[in-house]
């Protein structure tokens, strides 16, 4: 898949702003609603946000570091890699969405959480907006990042951004379902 890098960055900025807006709305709900669980096997809304926070702790610094040390300047074309494109597409919520097994170290189930969990998410997303702006000086195809599940596998920066932001969308939708929105 090829597309203009600037178009991709604008799309990801839009999604990130929408995620912040939704998080702000959910933060207004009372704590009992945010801790409500549809059944014992599902996450509540705060657990959805905490799961995203756990990934943000890895990805935000990883992406910033790769941008700061990038050797390739911005080119307004992004070519997705086969694996990166697959991962990104698998993250987007859809009607035929398959359940994914969560790694144990990223499973927040039954953690003691409060509304600060959402505040942390919002702060991470505001940082992501700054990261997306700084991406306009590096090549999104040639700059590679590590991923949280493998020290060996590297994805193209554009694909990593898609995976992270689409993953956020997926779990924000899950948080909305958990509170009945």
State pLDDT tens for residues 110-146: 788 999 999 999 999 999 999 999 999 999 999 999 9
Give mean pLDDT, residues 99-112: 66
Q: Which residue has the higher pLDDT, 93 or 171?
A: 171
Domains and their CATH numbers in the chain: 2-179 (1.20.120)
Residue 92 has a pLDDT of 86
pLDDT score of 99 more than 80? no
Its pTM stands at 0.92
CB 56 within 8 A of CB 118: no
Among 21-30, 86-95, 127-136, 140-149, the minimum mean pLDDT is found in 86-95
Give mean pLDDT, residues 69-75: 95
Q: What is the 3-state secondary structure (H, E, C) of the chain?
A: CEECHHHHHHHHHHHHHHHHHHHHHHHCCCHHHHHCCCCCCCCCHHHHHHHHHHHHHHHHHHHHHHHHCCCCECCCCEECCHHHHHHHHHHCCCCCCCCCCCCHHHCCCCCCCCCHHHHHHHHHHHHHHHHHHHHHHECCCCCEEEECCEEEEEEEHHHHHHHHHHHHHHHHHHHHHHHCC
């Amino acid at each position: 898949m090829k597309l203009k890098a600037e178009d991709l960055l604008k799309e990801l900025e839009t999604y990130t702003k929408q995620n912040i807006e939704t998080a702000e709305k959910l933060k207004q709900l009372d704590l009992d609603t945010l801790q409500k669980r549809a059944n014992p096997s599902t996450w509540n809304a705060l657990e959805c946000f905490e799961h995203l926070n756990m990934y943000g702790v890895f990805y935000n610094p990883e992406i910033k570091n790769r941008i700061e040390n990038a050797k390739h300047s911005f080119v307004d074309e992004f070519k997705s890699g086969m694996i990166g494109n697959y991962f990104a597409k698998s993250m987007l919520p859809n009607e035929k969405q398959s359940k994914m097994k969560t790694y144990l170290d990223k499973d927040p189930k039954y953690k003691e959480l409060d509304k600060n969990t959402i505040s942390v998410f919002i702060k991470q997303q505001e940082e992501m907006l700054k990261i997306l702006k700084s991406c306009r000086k590096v090549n999104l195809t040639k700059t590679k990042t590590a991923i949280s599940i493998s020290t060996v596998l590297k994805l193209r920066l554009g694909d990593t951004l898609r995976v992270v932001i689409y993953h956020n969308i997926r779990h924000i939708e899950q948080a909305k379902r958990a509170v009945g929105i």
